[in-house]
């Protein structure tokens, strides 16, 4: 057998081995990990978008409903708490940290709902163009949050399943031992009932 023939066979063996390894899921875990982290970034972006809208909404309501100081304070405090809890790619596997984040966001959702409900008592506020625009943006953001959370939950489901199913469980127990299941959102208390906020 000539040297070139052995080289061709060696090259063929390397290519065949690479295709076999690639075909059996060696890249699945890091791919799904990155997808889930990207979906988490989407969730954070939408929550941040909402947090950025709230100060303008509070100021607009304050101009018309100064006597609603308690509600305005609740929203401001809930926003501060929600933006102080950080969950990033390095802590996304911690269910307790994610629950704290989720609870803080749920408190902000409740406070924001009460603030928007206050507008019913102030016809001038309800007809203010700035308020109507902010209200519409908040509603749109709430819808985006729902979609982003759903996409994150699905990405986490796929990643966590890959860590426990064949053949990717082999890679999880060898090459990707540091990979841990990611935390999922849990249903908030009362989430079986749709919120009754009227926009």
Report how far Cα 177 is from the mean position of its chain's Cα atoms: 25
pLDDT band per the 50, 70, 90 thresholds, residue 162: very high
pTM of the model: 0.80
Residue pair 57/134 in contact (Cβ under 8 Å)? The answer is: yes
For the chain, first and last CA: distance in Å?
A: 80
Sign of CA dihedral 142, 180, 161, 97: negative
pLDDT digits (tens, 9 = 90+) for 48-105: 999 999 999 999 999 898 888 999 999 999 999 999 999 988 889 999 999 999 999 9
pLDDT digits (tens, 9 = 90+) for 91-147: 899 999 999 999 999 999 999 999 989 888 899 998 899 999 999 999 999 999 999
Task: Give the Cα separation of 73 and 27 in Å (integer).
Answer: 49
Q: Is the pLDDT of residue 193 over 70?
A: no
Q: Tell me, what's the pLDDT at 186?
A: 76
Instruction: For the beta carbon of residue 199, count every other beta carbon within 10 angstroms.
Output: 12
Pick the CATH number of 29-173 from 1.10.8.50, 1.20.1440.20, 2.60.40.10, 1.20.58.1910: 1.20.1440.20
CA nearest neighbour of 102 among 47, 155, 151: 47
């Amino acid at each position: 057998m000539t040297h070139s023939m052995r080289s061709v066979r060696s090259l063929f063996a390397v290519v065949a081995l690479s295709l076999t390894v690639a075909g059996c899921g060696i890249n699945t875990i890091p791919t799904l990990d990155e997808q889930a982290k990207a979906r988490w970034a989407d969730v954070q972006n939408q929550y941040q978008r909402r947090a950025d809208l709230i100060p303008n909404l509070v100021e607009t309501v304050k101009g018309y409903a100064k006597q609603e100081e308690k509600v305005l304070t609740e929203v401001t405090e809930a926003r501060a708490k929600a933006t102080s809890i950080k969950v990033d790619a390095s802590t996304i596997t911690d269910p307790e940290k994610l629950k704290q984040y989720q609870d803080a966001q749920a408190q902000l959702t409740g406070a924001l709902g009460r603030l928007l409900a206050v507008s019913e008592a102030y016809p001038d506020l309800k007809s203010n163009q700035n308020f109507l625009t902010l209200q519409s943006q908040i509603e749109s953001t709430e819808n985006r949050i729902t979609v982003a959370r759903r996409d994150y939950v699905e990405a986490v489901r796929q990643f966590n399943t890959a860590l426990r199913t064949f053949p990717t469980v082999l890679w999880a127990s060898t090459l990707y031992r540091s990979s841990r299941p990611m935390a999922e959102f849990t249903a908030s208390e009362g989430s079986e009932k749709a919120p009754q906020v009227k926009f």
